[in-house]
A and B are shown apart, each in its own frame.
Chain A
């Protein structure tokens, strides 16, 4: 079945450090891939998405590239800020309505 695996947290970084949160997936067909972010006290919100191999999604300085050969969609940011502290969820959708989410990775950024 379809599944998403992402690195366990928490991830703790200093401000301006480089961020990578790994995400790999298993899916039949050709899924669309997503990263959602959940800031403290708020609901999940879409951060970025990609629909086909080699697509790069980007938003707010975050990027993720759809790698079909490695079935990965790793999230990166060159210089994190304290305000990026949140829980990040990788997700996939293969058509229809069901979205499969990973377990989430909590990021703490220290000033």
Chain B
């Protein structure tokens, strides 16, 4: 497909379990972003990958959250020991030239995570 894809689309898990969320960016896009969208809240920046540079993890809310990007393409966001407050929609976006302030980010449909 031509767009950003994410999987799974929905995930229900029990408190304390680990979850992995996957993002496939648009082919050729060097920049990849993860955001969290909680109910009634705006998008909260989590982490940013650009090419081979070290990722900017400044938005990760705790050390239970981590992400990696293999081969400059697919990214996985991992949440360890999930808590109920982790319930949200996790959005991935990619862009071609992040150095430009005009750069358009292309978003995936998101993964809706529910922690029981």
A96 and B103 alpha carbons, distance in the complex (Å): 10
Which B positions have Cβ atoms within 8 angstroms of A?
A: 3-4, 31, 33, 35, 40-43, 45, 48, 50, 56, 91, 93, 98, 101-110
Q: Given the interface contacts A32-B101, A97-B33, A97-B50, does A43 sit within 8 Å of B41 by beta carbon?
A: no
Q: Does A60 contact B (CB under 8 A)?
A: no
Q: Are B91 and A44 in contact (CB under 8 A)?
A: yes
**Choice from B31, B56, B101, B104 contacting A94 with Cβ under 8 Å:** B101
Q: Are A49 and B102 in contact (CB under 8 A)?
A: yes
Q: Does A89 contact B (CB under 8 A)?
A: yes
**Choice from B33, B35, B101, B109 contacting A95 with Cβ under 8 Å:** B101
Q: Which A residues lie within 8 Å of B43 (CB)?
A: 44, 89, 101
Shortest A105–chain B CB gap in Å is: 10
Of the listed residues A32, A36, A43, A89, the one surrounded by the most CB atoms of chain B closer than 10 A to its CB is A43
A89 and B93 alpha carbons, distance in the complex (Å): 15
**Choice from A32, A45, A94, A95 contacting B107 with Cβ under 8 Å:** A45
